[in-house]
Amino acid sequence: MCGIIGYIGNRNAAEVLVRGLHKLEYRGYDSAGICVFSKGHLDVIKTKGRLDKLEQRLSGTSLESTLGLGHTRWATHGEPNDINSHPHLSQNGKIAVVHNGIIENYRQIKEFLCDKGVEFQSETDTEVIAQLLAYHYKGDVMRALMTTLGELEGAYALGVMCADYPDEFFAARKDSPLIIGLGKGENFIASDIPAILEYTRDIIIMEDREIVHITRGQAKLYDLLGKTVKRGVFHVDWDAEAAEKGGYEHFMIKEISEEPRAVRAAISPRIRDGLIDTGLSALSDNWVRNIKKIHIIACGTAYHAGLVGKYAIEKVARIPVEADLASEFRYREPIVRKGDLAVVISQSGETLDTLMGLREARKRGAKILSIVNVVGSSIARESDAVIYTWAGPEISVCSTKAYNTQLAALFSLAYDLGFRKGKLSFAGMMAAAKSLLGLPELIEKVLLNREIIQKFSAQHFNAQSVFYIGRGIDFALSSEGSLKLKEISYIHSEAYAGGELKHGTIALIEKGTLVICPITQDNLLEKTLSNVREVKARGAVVMAVTPERLAGAVSDVADAVITIPDTDSIFAPIIAVTPLQLFAYYVSVMRGNDVDKPRNLAKSVTVE
C-alpha cells in the first residue's frame, strides 16, 4: 500500500529519494523516511506526517551520499509516529529495511529474537525483518537475505541496505509490486513507475520470490535458491507529463477530463473492420463457445464495473455471470468448474485480494481473463488472456477514468462473447461497434456541462447523508457514485436498489435528505419515477441523471436534472458516471478536503 524507492548512482541520493517519494504520494501515506549511506554508516531520517515535514528535517543536515532507500507508509502494525516510520534499523545498526506488505508470522519471529536478546524499538512487523536479517548476517548479505525470506510468511516488497556494503543494495518481492529501473551509471528500485520516470524509461518487473542485487553498473536477479534469473527489459512509452497535473488543480479533475481520450484508447484498437475483437484468441473459439459460467472477481471501483459487466454479458451473450468481491470470493468455497471463465479486474494489476481470487479460481479449474491497466503486472502475467484498458497513469487515489475504461473493456467483451456464441448477428455486432466508437464524443459533451453539476454541489456540500437509488444497471452505477462521494467527501452515503426502498430504507428518508438517482433505462423509467415520488413525498431533494430522451418525464418529478446524451441503454453507465464523479469532486473541494489523497486510503492495496 505504501511507496518504496531505492537509488545508487552519482546523484545526491537524498534528493533523488525525496523527489521519487513525491511521485508516489498518490498511493497514500501517514509517515515518510529515508536511509542513506553517509560517512561510513547508515543514516536514517524519518517522521510522521507529510513529505514536507521530512524535507524540513533534511534541510538541517548535510547528507553526502549516492546510495539510499526511501519510503512512505500507511500504518498497519503500530500507530503512525516517528518510531514506527520506515526505514527500520537492526539493533546493531548494520541493516536497514523498507517494506511494503504484511508479515503474518512476525509475532513468532519477534518472540524468538527477543529470547536471543534483541530489543525492538517499534511496534511494526517490518522491524522484525531488519532484526532477523542481522541475526542471520555473517558477512554475506545475500545469504542472510535468502535465509530470512525463507522464514517469512506473508507479503513483502523489500529494500535492504547493509553498512558493510557501501556500493550496493538489495531488494526482494512476494505478492507486493516492485520494479527495477535501469540507468547509465545508476540504478533504482520503486513500487511504481512514476517514482523513477524522470531518470529512466527502462525497467524490469520483478516477479514473486525474486531477489535483486543492485550496483551502479548492473542489477542481477536471483531466485530464492541463488540461481540467476534472466528477464527482459520493459520500455515505458507513456510521457512523464501524463503523471503530472498539467495545470489542473487536482489529479482527479485532470483524470476525469481525460476520460474521452482514455475510453477512445480502450475501444479503438479492439474494433477491426467493424467487428469487436478483445483478444480472446488466446482462448480457442471452441472453448469460448462452450463457456457455461463467468465469475467476475474484483474490489472497490473495479467490482462496481464488474456489476455493470454482469448485466451487459448476461444480456448480450446470455451466459450466467456471478460478480464477487475478491476479498470474499476465496473464503466462501466458490463453485467454480473446469470450463468456467474468471474475469479478474484491477487497475493496478497488483491488488492482493484480487490476485488471490485469481489463484483460487485457477486452482478450481477456471480459465483467467484479466482486465488491467498496467502492462506486465502480476495479475496480467498470471492470466490466460488480458484486456489492457490503456487508461494511462491514474494518480488520484479516487479512481475515475480507470472505471470508464474498465466498462469499455467489459462492453467490448460482452459483444465479442455474444458474437462468438452465436447470440449476436453480424449486423448487431456492427451496430454495437459503431456505438462504442461514439462513446468518447458523448463523454466530451457531458464534460461541457460541468458548471451545472458544480452549482448543484455548492448547494449540497454540507449534506450529512446522501442516498443513491437505481434499478437494474442503474443500481450498479449508483454503487459507484456512492463510493466516489464517501471516499473523498467523507459524507455518509449508501446505494440502494430502488425496489428495496419499501423494505426498510425509506425509513431513513426525511425532509431535506439528498437522493441521487440515475434513470437511464427506458424499460424501468416508470418504476424508477415511482421511487422518486416515494422519497419526494417524505421531503427528499432529488438530483437525477438521465438521457435527453427521458429528461421531460424526469424533470416533472426531480428537483434537478443532469442530462447526458442519448445512447444505447446498455452503454449509459459509461457516460452517466461522469456527472457522479464530478459531483463527488466538487463537493470534496468545497469541503476543503485533500481530493487526491483521501484519509486512510491507498491507491494500490497490496495487503489483505
Residue 483 belongs to domain with CATH number: 3.40.50.10490
Is 259 found in the same domain as 213?
no
243 Cβ partners below 8 Å, 6+ apart? 23, 194, 197, 393, 395
Beta-carbon count within 10 A of 245 CB: 13
Q: How many domains does the chain have?
A: 3
**Residue 438 pLDDT exceeds 60:** yes
pLDDT at 74: 72
> How many angstroms from the chain centroid is the CA of residue 457?
26
Is 498 found in the same domain as 585?
yes
Is 438 found in the same domain as 354?
yes
pLDDT at 498: 87
Q: Which of 2, 35, 299, 398 is catalytic?
A: 2
pLDDT band for 50, please (50, 70, 90 cuts): confident
- Among 444, 476, 510, the domain boundary falls at 444
pLDDT tens-digit series, residues 276-329:
988 777 778 888 888 999 999 999 999 999 999 999 999 999 999 999 999 999
Contacts 24+ apart (CB under 8 A), 39-45: 39/64, 40/163, 40/166, 41/93, 41/163, 42/89, 42/93, 42/94, 42/96, 42/161, 42/163, 44/87, 44/89, 44/96
Tell me if residue 423 is catalytic: no
pTM above 0.85, yes or no: no
433 domain residue, yes or no = yes
**Residue 404 pLDDT exceeds 70:** yes
Tell me which of 7-11, 249-253, 410-414 is least confident.
249-253
Beta-carbon count within 10 A of 533 CB: 11
**Residue 243 pLDDT exceeds 80:** no
551 domain residue, yes or no = yes
Tell me which of 160-164, 199-203, 414-418, 537-541 is least confident.
537-541
Tell me which of 63-67, 367-371, 392-396 is least confident.
392-396
pLDDT tens-digit series, residues 209-240:
999 999 999 999 999 999 999 988 988 876 65
Average pLDDT, the chain: 91
Is 69 found in the same domain as 11?
yes
For range 51-75, the mean pLDDT = 88
**Residue 1 pLDDT exceeds 60:** no
pLDDT at 598: 84
Is 455 found in the same domain as 436?
no
% of the chain residues with pLDDT over 90: 70
Distance from C-alpha of 108 to C-alpha of 100, rounded to nearest angstrom: 19
Tell me which of 42-51, 428-437, 500-509 is least confident.
500-509
Contact 580, 6 (CB under 8 A): no
Tell me which of 33-37, 272-276, 481-485, 488-492 is least confident.
272-276
**Residue 380 pLDDT exceeds 80:** yes
Instruction: Give burial (CB, 10 Å; 0-12/13-18/19+) of 487.
Output: buried
pLDDT band for 607, please (50, 70, 90 cuts): very low
Grid coordinates standing for 341? 471463465
Distance from C-alpha of 578 to C-alpha of 581, rounded to nearest angstrom: 5
% of the chain residues with pLDDT over 70: 97
280 domain residue, yes or no = yes
pLDDT at 236: 84
Q: Is 247 left (phi over 0), alpha (psi -120 to 50) or beta?
A: left
Torsion (CA) 573, 579, 583, 586 in degrees, nearest 10: 130
**Which backbone phi and psi does 11 adopt, to 5 degrees?**
-85, 170
154 lies in which domain range? 3-237
For range 17-21, the mean pLDDT = 94
Q: Which of 46, 48, 110, 603 is catalytic?
A: 603
Is 524 found in the same domain as 507?
yes
342 domain residue, yes or no = yes
- Among 203, 237, 271, the domain boundary falls at 237
Distance from C-alpha of 539 to C-alpha of 541, rounded to nearest angstrom: 7
Beta-carbon count within 10 A of 553 CB: 14
Is 298 found in the same domain as 317?
yes
Nearest CA among 266, 36, 330 for reference residue 163: 36
What is the longest distance spanned by two Cα atoms in the chain?
79
Q: Which residue type is seen at 599? A: R
Is 233 found in the same domain as 174?
yes
Enter the DSSP assignment of 270.
G
Distance from C-alpha of 274 to C-alpha of 280, rounded to nearest angstrom: 17
Tell me if residue 35 is catalytic: no
599 domain residue, yes or no = no
Is 221 found in the same domain as 98?
yes
603 domain residue, yes or no = no
Residue 98, classed as helix, strand or coil, is: strand
For range 247-259, the mean pLDDT = 90
607 domain residue, yes or no = no
Grid coordinates standing for 23? 511521485
* CATH at residue 131: 3.60.20.10
Contact 342, 354 (CB under 8 A): no
**Residue 255 pLDDT exceeds 90:** yes
Is 453 found in the same domain as 416?
no
Beta-carbon count within 10 A of 165 CB: 17
How is the beta sheet containing 560-564 ordered, strand by strand?
A: 492-497, 465-470, 514-518, 541-547, 560-564
pLDDT tens-digit series, residues 540-552:
999 999 999 999 9
**Residue 603 pLDDT exceeds 60:** no
- Among 416, 444, 472, the domain boundary falls at 444
pLDDT tens-digit series, residues 170-213:
999 998 889 999 999 999 999 888 899 999 999 998 988 999 99
Residue 598, classed as helix, strand or coil, is: coil
Distances 11 to 194, 457, 550 between C-alpha atoms, Å: 18, 47, 61
Grid coordinates standing for 339? 470450463
608 domain residue, yes or no = no
Is 490 found in the same domain as 413?
no
Is 132 found in the same domain as 34?
yes
As beta bridge partners, residue 123 has: none
Residue 562, classed as helix, strand or coil, is: strand
Contact 171, 158 (CB under 8 A): yes
pLDDT tens-digit series, residues 142-158:
999 999 999 999 889 99
